[in-house]
Amino acid sequence: MKHYLYLVVLLMCQLTWGQIFDPPPIIPNPFATDGSTYTPRPGRSSATFVDDDVAEEVTVTATAEPGNRFRAPLVEREKTRVAILGYHNFSYTRPVSEMLMRTTELREQMESIRRAGISVISMQEFLEWRFGERRLPERCVLITLDDGWRSVYTDAYPIFREYGYPFHLFLYTRYLTGRGDSMSPAMIKEMMQNGASVGSHSATHPYPSTWRKHERAGQEAYVAFIDKEIGDSRARLEQLFGPVNTYCYPGGYNDETMVSRMSGYGYVAAFTVIPHKVSCNVDPMRIDRYMVFGTDPSIFRSAIDFRGSETRTTAAVAGAQPGLLPSGTPLPPFPVTPRPAEVVPCELPTISAQLGGVPGIDISTVRMQVSGFGRVPAKVDAASRTIQWTPPCRIYMPYISVHILWNNTDGSRHRAEWSFSTDQTVTVEQ
Ligand SMILES: [Zn+2]
């Protein structure tokens, strides 16, 4: 017994000594507390992350240029691609769904970003880049989280702090009570001291059917509804948290009436749920994001895979399909159905790609991935060089992204992606 107690005391002492003499590394806080406008603040970029593990896994060639807090060199603005990730809810134990991700998986994803040497930027850095006021590394990720789930504070925030990653919250004002699964304003203010920034996600998070109902009531009524949801929500968030100038369309739903009023409310950028990389000439009122579902790891993988956009750019320069692929446009260099950005009325659309014009392709290697389904058992017809698949069940996501992957006979790997949407009056909450 005496020896046992001695052992316990010794272990406790070791714990204490360990905490005193081997403290966790201190990461300088690079975050401004009011980082929600895009006015450059030269002082805030001077901090650096100290993480010697990264050097073993990626070639670090970061320059010593002023204003570069990243472990990768800054490039011309046109060469940067940003993958914007959209998350919702997390849990260590509850069943996963599209909107709820296992917290351990979030951590694995943040680790993948670090290992790949991809720079995680803040919303302010993103806006400065978009509006011509700063350069960034070639490959960047911007982390956004929708709605204001309490698990962002309990589960995700400690992980973002551990990695030193900034993140942006899109909040809808009705869900700021701190009750149930929602966050309180105090939790959000605390996170804003440590990397969080805030944008609006409307007042009541209307579904597409609700927007349409108000639209049918006439233009005046519709504008009044938009003023309340999009305009007033910004004013309320500013009362609580300071300047707000970003908006995220609930479920990605937007139309010309909304878009035309955004800058009048004071927004400089608005975000959708269409999965594409973003370049510096993106329409600031329709910025694409990858919604990372808890049930589909392929979405995250394609988000942080920057080779696809390089392949498309190369193909455009080489003129593989003249006229089909304008430089920098994120479209596949071959005919596809449904067409990119098409709204299809059917919930079981046949998805196909006709690869006859792709030089050097090894048709036996062609495969298809569809968001929400992962890799799908698509039929490949070697004679017509067509890959085709029809979903076995109703697609209930408003936006669907398709990836076509193939190898050329010289062994090089290629991919192309596009997205379309289904017209449905009821969609999942995003
Ligand atoms: Zn939402």
CATH class of 307-422: mainly beta
Name the region of 411 (left: φ>0; alpha: ψ -120 to 50; beta: rest). left
Give the Å distance between the CA of 211 and the centre of ligand 1.
14
Give the Å distance between the CA of 151 and the centre of ligand 1.
15
Handedness of CA 373, 375, 381, 384 (dihedral sign): positive
Give the Å distance between the CA of 145 and the centre of ligand 1.
9
Give the Å distance between the CA of 233 and the centre of ligand 1.
14
CATH class of 54-303: alpha beta
Give the Å distance between the CA of 364 and the centre of ligand 1.
40
Give the Å distance between the CA of 12 and the centre of ligand 1.
46
Give the Å distance between the CA of 170 and the centre of ligand 1.
8
User: What residue spans define the domains of the chain?
Assistant: 54-303, 307-422
**Residue 51, pLDDT score:** 37
Q: Which two tokens stand for residue 81?
A: 């691609």
Give the Å distance between the CA of 304 and the centre of ligand 1.
22
Inter-residue contact 271 to 247 (CB < 8 Å): yes
Give the Å distance between the CA of 89 and the centre of ligand 1.
10
Give the Å distance between the CA of 207 and the centre of ligand 1.
9
Give the Å distance between the CA of 203 and the centre of ligand 1.
11
Among residues 316, 307, 406, which one has the least CA distance to residue 361? 406
Give the Å distance between the CA of 202 and the centre of ligand 1.
9
- pLDDT tens for the chain, residues 1 to 430: 445 444 444 344 333 333 333 333 333 343 433 333 333 332 222 233 333 333 344 444 555 677 788 989 999 999 999 999 999 999 999 999 989 999 999 999 999 999 999 999 999 999 999 999 999 999 999 999 999 999 999 999 999 999 999 999 999 999 999 999 999 999 999 999 999 999 999 999 998 889 999 999 999 999 999 999 999 999 999 999 999 999 999 999 999 999 999 999 999 999 999 889 999 999 999 999 999 999 988 899 999 999 865 333 333 333 223 222 233 335 677 888 888 777 777 767 889 999 988 889 999 999 998 876 778 889 999 988 999 998 877 766 666 778 898 999 998 888 888 777 776 543 444 4
Amino acid present at 136: L
Near ion ligand 1, which residues have CB within 5 Å?
A: 146-147, 250, 430
Bridging pattern class, strands 374-376 and 361-370: antiparallel
**Residue 396, pLDDT score:** 60
Give the Å distance between the CA of 251 and the centre of ligand 1.
6
Give the Å distance between the CA of 172 and the centre of ligand 1.
8
